[in-house]
């Protein structure tokens, strides 16, 4: 069975992948697929129900809800992707390298990471944006930095597991550098677990950024975002109780899709990958003589 079939073996994973594909298309196209101008106001037609001209109705200013939902997809998803990418860059790479530190350096690094893990992301992001800048860039930076410890701990744990394998010890015995060992043996085997972490972190980032937009931090009105739409619509629940449903559904369904795809990646990649992998399975035994020969040739070229 191929990797793709293992990843998408579950019907829920297939549905989640389709949802993320639609979200990706809306992110790429932005507001081009929107049936109306997401910023155009038509106050006399505010709080109108679904119709042929407005499939999801209008908001309190008469703006088309579907158009704003589509346009808001881009800023929400791109901001979340940037957040996860930042957390991965400043978390996973140092996490792999930290496995080769000495005991003293390791102690201080781990205590610093543990202190970051104790901080509530939303509260600290609000404080950071209040101190420095109140905008999307500041929100992405704050949340990305606070996601980094998650990648750090997982990358470090994977590296420590693989670093004790015989083929890694053989490479080091024959003089291979740490960077050669990481590039040849560690990085590719740690990627499945990091991919699962990235998928779950994307869902969390969407929740975090939408929460901050809901609080008025990040994307500024009248630019549409899922959290901003939810914040503006919830004020008018008495006039139109259904207004807040659509952005809330968009957030909930997308976060569910990220978590479902993460489950599929965990099952598919973990079953395929050797080593500790996502599921913690042991690596199959290798022929040590042929392994030492190949490692000797590779280490001499490193």
Global confidence as pTM: 0.82
Number of domains the chain contains: 1
pLDDT higher at 123 or 69:
69
**Per-residue model confidence as pLDDT tens digits over 21-63:** 999 999 999 888 889 888 888 888 888 888 888 888 888 888 9
Residue 48 lies in a domain: no
Residue 55 lies in a domain: no
Residue 80 lies in a domain: yes
Residue 43 lies in a domain: no
User: Would you say 205 and 199 are in contact if contact means Cβ atoms under 8 Å apart?
Assistant: no
Q: What is the pLDDT of residue 288?
A: 40
Mean pLDDT to the nearest integer, 196-203: 94
Residue 40 lies in a domain: no
Q: Mean of the per-residue pLDDT values for the chain?
A: 81
pLDDT at 99 over 90: no
Tally Cβ neighbours within 10 Å of residue 30.
16
Domain residues for 250?
3-29+61-301
Here the CATH number for the domain that contains residue 179 is 1.10.3720.10
Tally Cβ neighbours within 10 Å of residue 291.
14
């Amino acid at each position: 069975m191929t990797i793709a079939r293992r990843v998408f073996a579950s019907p829920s994973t297939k549905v989640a992948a389709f949802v993320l594909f639609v979200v990706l298309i809306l992110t790429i196209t932005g507001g081009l697929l929107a049936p109306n101008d997401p910023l155009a106001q038509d106050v006399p037609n505010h709080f109108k129900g679904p119709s042929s001209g407005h499939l999801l109705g209008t908001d309190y200013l008469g703006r088309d809800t579907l158009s704003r939902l589509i346009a808001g997809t881009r800023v929400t998803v791109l901001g979340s992707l940037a957040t996860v990418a930042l957390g991965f860059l400043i978390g996973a790479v140092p996490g792999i390298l930290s496995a080769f530190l000495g005991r003293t350096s390791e102690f201080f690094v781990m205590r610093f990471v543990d202190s970051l893990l104790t901080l509530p992301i939303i509260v600290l992001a609000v404080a950071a944006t209040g101190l420095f800048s109140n905008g999307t860039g500041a929100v992405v930076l704050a949340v990305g930095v606070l996601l980094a410890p998650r990648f750090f701990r997982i990358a470090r744990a994977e590296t420590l597991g693989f670093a004790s394998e015989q083929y890694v010890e053989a490479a080091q015995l024959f003089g291979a550098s740490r960077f050669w060992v990481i590039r040849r043996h560690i990085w590719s085997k740690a990627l499945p677990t990091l991919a699962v972490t990235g998928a779950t972190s994307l869902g969390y980032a969407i929740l975090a950024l939408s929460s901050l937009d809901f609080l008025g931090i990040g994307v500024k009105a009248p630019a549409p975002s899922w959290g901003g739409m939810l914040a503006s619509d919830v004020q008018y629940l008495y006039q139109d109780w259904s207004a807040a449903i659509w952005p809330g559904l968009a957030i909930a369904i997308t976060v569910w899709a990220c978590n479902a795809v993460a489950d599929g990646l965990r099952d598919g990649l973990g079953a395929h990958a050797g080593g500790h992998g996502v599921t913690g399975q042991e690596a199959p035994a290798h022929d040590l003589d042929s392994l030492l020969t190949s490692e000797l040739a590779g280490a001499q070229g490193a």
